[in-house]
Amino acid sequence: MTMWGTIATWRMAHDGVVDASRQLAAGGTAGDAVEALIKRVEAYEYYKSVGYGGLPNEEGEVEMDAAFMDGDTFAQGAVAGIHNVLHAVSVARALSHEHYNSFRVGAGATKYAQLQGFEMVNMLTPRAKKLWQQRLAAMRASDLSPYDGHDTVGAVTLAGNGSMATATSTSGLFMKKAGRVGDSPLSGSGFYVDSAVGGAAATGLGEDLMKGCLSYEIVRQMAAGKTPQEAADQAVYSFAETLQARYGKCGEFSLVAMNNRGEWGVATNVEFTFSVATADAAPQILIAHPAAD
């Protein structure tokens, strides 16, 4: 049987995983499948942390981060702090075809999307605005942290021809400061893929994920011979421990990984749902727990 597969963060990715697996089963490319997967999540209004309906920053502006990477060529494109673009992942993918200027931020990223004809919409839905107003009032009343929960969609795909791709998309942390960028558009932190090995994608506290370049570290461990599960465990748990010991705290991390044989693994330091499908296993939503001490 031709091996293909996809794995993605959170149960919200499930419909996208179903779409991607149909494409991959029909011989679609890894890039098209991962973009379709992420777009499905971005378009769904009721996911509060990705795409349309995503929660805004402290100033009430929805700022999106997204990335796309081709595991054959290592081509990457990314956007950060982009405004009012329905599919930030598609903008990132378009940028991955550029040799120069492939990572764009803020007004420059938004302008690029407009000029390229990407669909522009007001990303602040009435529902997200209401949640923002409620949180603003609560933050004034007490000292609430802007950070609660973590819900970036990040996915890895393996096509039947052996090519791999990865992509991420997020509105980042609810109530983040204007201009704050997380790990999701950063190569090696939020995502990484090498078709000769495998790929990984992250969700969690970007500020801490960046400290360990955890997606790259998982791919490096797989290249050294570890299974995706061993690689994810090694990268995530050893770094979380080191960070705790040397920095004094460690945010939530959850990473998904798949190798170029369609084997997969997940490591997390918090209860975490994910969705996965392979040529020999129908799409399913699973729950991962932190490894026991």
**Binding region for ligand SD4 (CB under 6 A):** 49, 150-152, 170, 172-173, 182-184, 203-206
Query: How far is residue 215's CA from residue 101's CA, in Å, rounded to a whole number?
Result: 23
* Residue closer to ligand SD4, measured from CB, 44 or 279: 44
- Closer to ligand SD4 by Cβ: residue 90 or 170: 170
Which alpha helices (DSSP H) does 185-227 contain, by range?
206-212, 214-223
Least distance between ligand SD4 and beta carbon 155 (Å): 13
Burial class (CB in 10 A: 0-12, 13-18, 19+), 87: buried
Shortest reach from residue 152's CB to ligand SD4, in Å: 3
Please state, in angstroms and rounded to a whole number, the distance separating the CA atoms of residues 201 and 183.
10
> To the nearest whole angstrom, how small is the minimum distance from the Cβ of residue 197 to ligand SD4?
23
CB of 270 to ligand SD4, least distance (A): 11
Strand partners, 200: 192, 257
Number of neighbouring beta carbons within 10 Å of residue 99: 6
How many of the other CB atoms lie within 10 Å of CB of 68? 31
Strand partners, 70: 165
Catalytic residue among 6, 9, 125, 152: 152
User: In this complex, which beta carbon is closest to ligand SD4, that of residue 163 or of residue 170?
Assistant: 170
Rounded to whole angstroms, the Cα distance separating 22 from 279 reads: 10
Closer residue to ligand SD4 in complex, CB, 24/128: 128
Instruction: Examine the residue annotation and report whether 168 is marked as an active-site residue of this protein.
Output: no
| Token representation of residue 275 | 């969705």
Tell me how far, at minimum, the Cβ of 224 lies from ligand SD4, in Å. Answer: 26
User: Of 95 and 205, which CB lies nearer to ligand SD4 in the complex structure?
Assistant: 205
Q: What separation in angstroms does the CA of 112 have from each of 57, 62, 178, 198, 269?
A: 22, 17, 20, 31, 37
CA angle (65, 152, 163) in 5-degree steps: 85
Q: Which residues are catalytic?
A: 152
